[in-house]
Structure formats: C-alpha cells, structure tokens
Chains A and B, each alone.
Chain A
C-alpha cells in the first residue's frame, strides 16, 4: 500500500516537473521572439511613423462601440476620452444594454442626445432596439437603447447600427490615449486590408492620474493585488502576444480595445452570446474562416500600450474575473475542439490551439498539483522533500523569473513608469509572485474549470467605481 502511494507521488512529481520544463522552454522561446521584435524597434521615433498614416485621404473610418450596462459612474469619462481620439473619421456608438441605473439619462443629459429615426440593417441577431439617439453637440456620437441581452448582444446591436467598415469595441470603463486608435489601425491601413483584426497592449489604470478622459501621469497603485496585476499584464502582453502575433497565432486580442473588420466579424456570426469569453470566441472563429477560405489574412497585435483599464482591487472581484476568464477560455477551446491539431487550420491549429490547451488551460491544474505536492511533502516526511524543493524552484523560474524579465522589458522598451520607486516596486513584487499571487490565481482558474464542468454560466459583473475616482 505504502509502495503504491509512493509510486503515485513520484509519478505526479515527475509529471509536473516535466510539464514545467516544457512550458518554461516554450516561454523562453516566446521571450526570444519578443526580444527580437522589441529590439528592432528600440528607440525608433514612433510619432514619425504614425504621421504617415494620418495625412492620407484613405484612412479607413471606424465605428467605436461602447457597450454599457449600469456604467453611470464611468461612461461619461469614457465617451470623453473617445471624443478626443486623434483619428480622421469615427463614429461613437454607446449601447445601453438595458441598464437599471441612470446610464441612459446621464448620457442623454451630458451630450444633449436627441432621438432620431434610423433604419437599422439587422445583420446580426440582437435583442430589440428601443431607440437610437444622436448628440446635438457631437453629431458623430450615437446612443442605442436596447433591451438587456448581455455584452455580446450589445456589441452585435452596435455592429448593426454602425456605418463604417471597421469597428472597435471598448469596455465602458477604459481610457484610451489620443493616438490609440491610430496605433491599432496602423497594421490594417498599412497592409491594405490584409490584417483584418488588431489589438494593442492593455495597461492598468489604478494608480494613474486621470482627468477628463485621459491619463495625465502614470503611477502605481498601493494595493499589492493591483501591482501584481500590472506585472501580469506586462508579462502577457510584452512577452506572450508580441511573439504569437509575429506568426499570426493570436487567439486572444483583448476585448478591452481591439479593432475588427466588420465584414469578417459579421461573416463569423458576430459576438457569441453563449460564452463569457466573447472576444476570444470571435477571434477563434475568424481564424477558422481565414483558414477555411485559404485566404492570406492576418490578426495582429501592437505592443504599444493603447488602453488603460480599471483592474479589480479586491480579492473577491479579482477571483470572479479570473474564474470567468478561464471558463471563457475553456468554452472557446471546447466549442472549436475540432481545430485542435488539425493541419487544415495551419499554425493556429497545430501550434496555437495545443498551446492554449496545454499551457494556458491545463497549466493551473498542474501548478495546483505542484503546490499541493509541496504542501503534502512537509507532512509526509523527508522522502519527498527533495522533489518538493525541485518543484518550488521550477515555480520560481516559471513565475518569478519570467515576471522579472517582463518588468525589465517594460523599463527597456516602453518606459511607462516615470518614478524609480515604482519600477523598483514592480521588480520586487515580481520576485515574490510565485509565493502568494500565483497560487491564488491558480486556484481561481481551477475554479473556472470547475464552474464549466458543473455548467455554471453566470456573468458575475464587477462593481465599477468609475475610473476618475480611482
């Protein structure tokens, strides 16, 4: 009996070790790709490279969609930041998704909205639209009032109302920089439409000084949970996505700010109402369409930070967000499981999908196993201590070292945090990542998988405080 137990323990120990080694190898590879790309653009005068695109008569117009459900606190700031975007031709469509608070009346009052007659072309299914309003002071600002149907439904309604060939979706609580849209549209304009969707880096706004819808000064929050999320975002965007984007394997471009070609989004069926990860779901479906039609189209990612968003600052809200994200990931992977390892879908099928299954989805389960092993070993005596130490070290490499590198990558390339104190703080926090934050997120993500298994499909919404009050 003892023997059997110890073989099981050893088996688990080694499985986790080997898994971690493979994942570390893969991350190193991604880091290499990102380093190469970022080094190339180091010290390049980016302003210059954007100017070339502003002057052109042929800049593609964009409809900006802002789904808003009970966002009375933040929606005005959000719209203001959109109004000041530097881009030749846009329309802003706020979709009030049957809010139960004052969202609708706040917008109507602030921007002098008036009800208009509009024939809406229903290209995507959505809940009933009660009315469309237009601002008397900003003619390119529209407000759609509809029956509640969820975020995906609101976005679909926005797409139906929109008139331009590209749309970008943005969360009601996000702040953009004034050249954000230009940066994200650049790959699309530049490639003459070969790039059909594109997204940029998301950063965390907590701790920054924000006024009238723009970030005045970048700072770091005092809340350790938020600091850890800052590091996490750096790691995901600077390390992961830059690398994946180079080979058109991006399965996630954040819903907080990304642009899509309307035609492709509609052909892919728009946003799905049946998943909590509607942004990933859409990207995956577009990838599927591209490969099915054997077209040379791409989805790209730009490393520049373009969007500032409010991060959850309590354990409870963060927990909900993470378990929801992971559930969304699983839902999308499961829906499109036939793409996995399917050579018909090119690199997306053979590399990206397996990566998302094996690293992103399974990762937390294996890691949780690792942490449990370490805990158990202290009770079971000396036999397993060595294995536990090995695992712990691997987790430090996996969690802390890569995060430290991401922070350095930030300081080296983007240099967004002006205060030395903030940089030092980020660096030290990243060292400690594997000891408290990582285990927490691992548990939450496993929870997401569990929720999926028991068919829990809720959308626990975080309570917003309004970004200007952070």
Chain B
C-alpha cells in the first residue's frame, strides 16, 4: 500500500518537523530573552563608564580598570561607546588615543575574530579595525592578504582600506596585482584614503592599472581637485578610450581649469553625445576667450542633453544670455528656442 506508507511518512514529517520548528522557536525566543538581558547589562555598563571613557580619551585621564576589555560583553559595550565618538571627534590627539586604546584593549579579540570561520564575524572585526584606525593588527592583515587562502571580495576591500588608512606601501602592489574583484566605487574609496606620496606612486604605474582602476584614479583626481595633475589628465585624454576620455572630462569639469585648451577642441564635434555634452559643461566652467563661438553650435545639437547643457553653460558665460535671447528671436530651431527659454526663465526667477 503505497498510499498508507506515504500518509504515515507525511504524518511523521509533519509531526517531526513541526515539533523541531517549535523547539527552534522556543530556542530563538529564549535566546532573545538572554540578548535582552545582555542589552540591559550593556546599557548599565554604558551609563557607568561612558563619562570615564570620555575623560580618558579627551581629557587624558588615567584608564580606569572598568574600561579594560575583559569579556566579550565589555568588548561590545566599548564598541558601542566608541561608535558614538568616532563620528564626532576630530581632534588629532583624541584620535590617537582612540586608536591606542583600541589597539591595547580590543586587538586580541579582533585577532581571534579574524580567524573565525564565520564570514560575518571576520567582517565585523575588519569594520571596527578600520573605524578605529587600528595599527597593531596591520601585520596580521598583511599576512592574510598574502596567504593562499581566498577571502571574500568584501573582506579584501576592508583589508585594503585598513592598509590604505595607514599608507602601507604594499597596498599599491595588492591593488594592481591582486584582482580581488573590487568595484570602481571601492577603488575610489581606497584611493581617497591614501596620502599624496602613495598616490603619486600609483600614477607612475598608470599604464599597468586595470581599466576600472584607471577610471577610479581619474575620478579621485577630480574629486580632490588636484590641479597639479591636469597636464597628466590631458596627456591621457589623447591616449585613452572613450570611457576614459569621458571620465577625464568629468574630472576636468570639476577642477574647472585646463592647461591646453586645444586638446579638447576636437571633442566639441565628437560623434558621441556624452562627449559633446561634457564639452558644453566644460565650456561653462573654464575661462576661454570667445567661448560662445564654441557653445552656440551646441545649442542646435541633435541631443537634448547637449542642448540643455549648452544653455546652462551660456547662462554662466559672458554674453551668453544675449546669445540665448538671439536664439529665441531668430525663431529657427524650435528645440533650441525651448531650452533657451527655459534656462533664461529659471535665471530670472532666481534673481527675482
């Protein structure tokens, strides 16, 4: 009898699983109670010691015994207290003491956590080490990167970030040679961390960089307004592919200064609308004599984006508004008239 067997089996499964699930539920709920108690103890600890920690970190007082991380619960409490400080303290001396304190008290715990088999535990440890700018475990992290053991991409990102935050020389090598699968966004974060010396070293290696990192390097130059690298950007402009060129133009727009304007002129008639649009933007932020001669044709561009950007730039340039008005009164290109009208009206509105 197949059916009765199946019924029996199903009943067994339902009862078995049902009770197993119920036990798990009870376990989870009990666990939650314990957590709640822990939270309460954490809270008490916090109330008792947060002022003392503050005096220790900011007013240079001696470290009270209670602030030594002697149990996992205390580690948690200390992490919690520190997390409120790290976003608000900007004083260099206090920061040194935070790092020092974390190195003294928390490092052993994180060292253990780094060896944990649980990904989330390792990640949390790395997050904290980056947060507190801890230096004592740099050596271990450096070793972790070099071992054959593969970590997740998220971990590599945090490890590199940690190395970058102390300007560790190896970080360049890892970035270039180890393809940890970082995203552009992550490269940018790391590149903004490192100091200008290391950054210069990366620039020397530019040719060897993977394309995704090239873009990140260019972005960071723009983000940080590094005028000194304009000539370098202009050199790459002539060599790069379209994606790189677009990045360079964006960076230059941010910096708002060019060295050799003639390098850019061909892109006003580029076949890609993105390049024409960026040229329209660039013409609005840099100083070029007779700039409206270049901007005027862009108002009749086939791309809406280019027209819109050209109109915005014309608002910025000397004599630009007259050009816009002339476009409206000439009555030739309907699209150009629309966008010119909108730009002029928005300016008038702003100035009442």
| Binary flags per residue of B21-57, CB closer than 8 Å to A gives 1, else 0 | 1101100110010000000000000000000000000
Contact with A along B107-124 (1 / 0, CB 8 A): 000000000000111011
Contact flags A264-278 to B (C-beta < 8 A → 1, else 0):
000000000000000
Q: Quote the shortest CB–CB distance from B326 to chain A (angstroms).
A: 19
Partner of B4, one of A386, A404, A415, A423: A386
B184 engages A118 (CB within 8 Å): no
Shortest CB distance A160–B (Å): 11
CB < 8 Å neighbour of A190 from B120, B123, B183: B183
Residue contact A427 to B120, C-beta cutoff 8 Å: no
Nearest CB on B from A425, distance (A): 12
The yes or no answer to A408 lying at the interface (CB within 8 A) is yes
CB contacts (< 8 Å) of A412 on chain B: these are 28
Number of interface residues of B (CB under 8 A): 42
Contacts of A421-461 to chain B: CB distance below 8 A? 423, 427, 431
Shortest distance between the CB of B126 and any CB in chain A (Å): 9
Instruction: Pick from B7, B183, B189, B304: contact of A393, CB below 8 A.
Output: B7
Known: A390-B7, A404-B21, A427-B25. A117 touches B189 (CB 8 A): no
In the bound complex, residues from chain A placing their C-beta under 8 Å from that of B208 are none
Q: Known: A117-B345, A390-B7, A415-B32. Is A405-B21 also a contact (CB below 8 A)?
A: yes
Partner of A43, one of B24, B28, B121, B338: B121
Across the interface, which residues of B come within 8 angstroms of A117, CB to CB?
Answer: 341-342, 345-346
- Taking CB as reference atom, which chain A residue is nearest B184? A192
| A45 engages B4 (CB within 8 Å) | no
Distance between B333 CB and nearest chain A CB, rounded to angstroms? 13
**B14, closest chain A residue (CB):** A396
Asked if B169 is an interface residue, CB under 8 A from chain A, the answer is no
Which segment of A51-59, A71-79, A171-179 sits at the interface?
A: A51-59
A411 on the interface (CB 8 Å rule)? Answer: yes
A44, CB-defined interface residue at 8 Å: yes
Instruction: Indicate if the CB atoms of B131 and A57 lie closer than 8 Å.
Output: no
Q: Which residue of B lies closest to A387 (CB)?
A: B3
Residue B6 at the chain A interface, CB threshold 8 Å:
yes
Determine if A411 and B25 form an interchain contact, defined as CB atoms under 8 angstroms apart: yes
Query: Which among B121, B212, B342 is the interface contact of A118 at CB below 8 angstroms?
Result: B342
Interface residues in A376-405 (C-beta closer than 8 Å to B): 386-387, 389-390, 393-394, 396-397, 401, 404-405
Check A1 for interface membership: any CB of B closer than 8 A: no
Q: A42-B120, A56-B189, A393-B7 are in contact. Are A119 and B339 (CB under 8 A)?
A: yes
Question: Do A389 and B7 touch across chains, with their CB atoms under 8 A apart?
Answer: yes
Question: Which chain A residues (32-61) contact chain B, with CB distance < 8 Å?
Answer: 40-45, 48-49, 52-53, 55-58
Any A CB within 8 A of the CB of B10: yes
**In this complex, which of B24, B120, B349 has the most chain A Cβ atoms within 10 angstroms of its Cβ?**
B120
Q: Which residues of B contact A119 (CB under 8 A)?
A: 338-339, 341-342
Query: Which of A55, A119, A389, A393 neighbours the largest number of chain B CB atoms within 10 Å of its CB?
Result: A119
User: Are B342's CB and A408's CB within 8 A?
Assistant: no
Q: Is the CB of B21 within 8 A of A52?
A: no
Expressed in whole angstroms, the Cα–Cα distance for A45 and B25 within the complex equals 23
| Size of A's binding interface in residues, CB under 8 A | 43
Instruction: Judge if B140 is at the interface, Cβ distance under 8 Å.
Output: no
Please give, as numbers and ranges, the residues of chain A lying within 8 Å of B124 by CB-CB distance.
Answer: 43-45, 48
CA distance A118 to B346 in the complex (A): 9
- Does chain B have a CB within 8 A of A9? no
> What is the distance, in angstroms, from A440's C-beta to the closest C-beta of chain B?
22
Judged by a CB distance under 8 angstroms, whether A335 is at the interface is: no
Question: How far, in Å, is B201 (CB) from chain A's closest CB?
Answer: 23
* Interchain CB contact under 8 A, A192 and B183: yes
Asked if A129 CB lies within 8 Å of chain B CBs, one says no
Distance to closest chain B CB from A80 (angstroms): 26
Cβ contact within 8 Å between B29 and A420: yes
Min C-beta distance of A184 to chain B, whole Å: 16
Nearest to B33 among chain A residues (CB) is A420
User: Please, how many angstroms separate the alpha-carbon atoms of A352 and B78 in the complex?
Assistant: 47
State whether the Cβ of A121 lies closer than 8 Å to any Cβ in chain B: yes
Q: Are B7 and A191 in contact (CB under 8 A)?
A: no
Q: Is the C-beta of A189 less than 8 angstroms from some C-beta in chain B?
A: yes
Do residues A40 and B18 form an inter-chain contact, with CB atoms below 8 A?
no
Give residues of chain A (274-327) contacting chain B, Cβ–Cβ below 8 Å.
none
Q: Is the CB of B123 within 8 A of A44?
A: yes
Asked whether, in the complex, the Cβ of A44 is within 8 Å of the Cβ of B120, the reply is: yes
A121 touches B304 (CB 8 A): yes
Rounded to whole Å, the gap between the CB of B298 and the closest CB of chain A is 16
The answer to whether A43 touches B185, judged by C-beta atoms less than 8 angstroms apart, is: no
CB distance from A243 to the nearest CB of B (A): 19
A423 and B120 in contact, given A192-B183, A386-B3, A404-B21 (Cβ under 8 angstroms) = no
Pair A404/B18 contact, Cβ less than 8 Å? yes
A409 → chain B closest CB, angstroms = 10
Which listed residue (B6, B7, B29, B131) contacts A423, Cβ 8 A?
A: B29
The answer to whether B119 and A40 touch across the interface, beta carbons within 8 angstroms, is: yes
Which positions 210-253 of chain A face chain B at CB distance < 8 Å? none
- Asked if residues A397 and B28 are in contact (CB atoms below 8 Å), the reply is no
**B28 touching A411, Cβ below 8 Å:** yes
Task: State A57–B251 Cα separation when bound (angstroms).
Answer: 12
Q: Are B188 and A56 in contact (CB under 8 A)?
A: yes
A383 to B29, CA, bound (A): 45
Are A408 and B25 in contact, with the CB atoms below 8 A?
yes
Any chain A CB within 8 A of the CB of B223? yes
Name the one of B21, B184, B185, B339 contacting A408, with C-beta atoms under 8 angstroms.
B21
A190 and B341 CA atoms in complex are apart in Å by 39
When C-beta atoms are compared, the residue in chain B nearest to A55 turns out to be B189
Q: A56-B189, A405-B21, A408-B28 are in contact. Are A386 and B7 (CB under 8 A)?
A: yes
A411 to B304, CA, bound (A): 51
Shortest CB distance A218–B (Å): 14
Min Cβ gap A19→B in Å is 14
Is B13 at the interface (CB under 8 A from chain A)? Answer: yes
Closest chain B residue to A415 by CB distance?
B32
* CA gap between A99 and B53 in the complex, in Å: 58
Instruction: For B338, list chain A residues within 8 Å (CB).
Output: 119
| Nearest CB of A to B320, in Å | 18
Contacts of B212 in A (CB 8 A): 192
Across the interface, which residues of B come within 8 angstroms of A44, CB to CB? 119-120, 123-124
Question: What's the nearest-Cβ distance from chain A to residue B160, in Å?
Answer: 12
Q: Chain A residues near B18: list those with CB within 8 A.
A: 401, 404, 431
A386 neighbours in B (Cβ, 8 Å): 3-4, 7
Complex CA distance for A427 and B22, rounded to whole angstroms: 9
**A190 in contact with B185 given A58-B219, A423-B29 (CB within 8 Å):** yes
Give B286-334 interface residues, CB cut-off 8 Å to A: 304
Other than the known A191-B183, A397-B13, what 15 A-B pairs have Cβ atoms closer than 8 Å? A43-B124, A45-B124, A57-B223, A58-B188, A117-B346, A119-B338, A119-B342, A190-B185, A192-B185, A386-B7, A387-B3, A393-B7, A404-B21, A412-B28, A420-B29
Q: 23 pairs across A/B with beta carbons < 8 Å?
A: A42-B120, A43-B124, A44-B119, A45-B124, A45-B127, A48-B124, A48-B127, A49-B123, A56-B189, A58-B188, A117-B345, A119-B338, A190-B185, A393-B14, A397-B10, A397-B13, A401-B17, A401-B18, A404-B18, A408-B21, A408-B24, A411-B29, A412-B28
- Which A residues fall within an 8 A CB radius of B? 40-45, 48-49, 52-53, 55-58, 116-119, 121, 189-192, 386-387, 389-390, 393-394, 396-397, 401, 404-405, 407-408, 411-412, 415, 420, 423, 427, 431
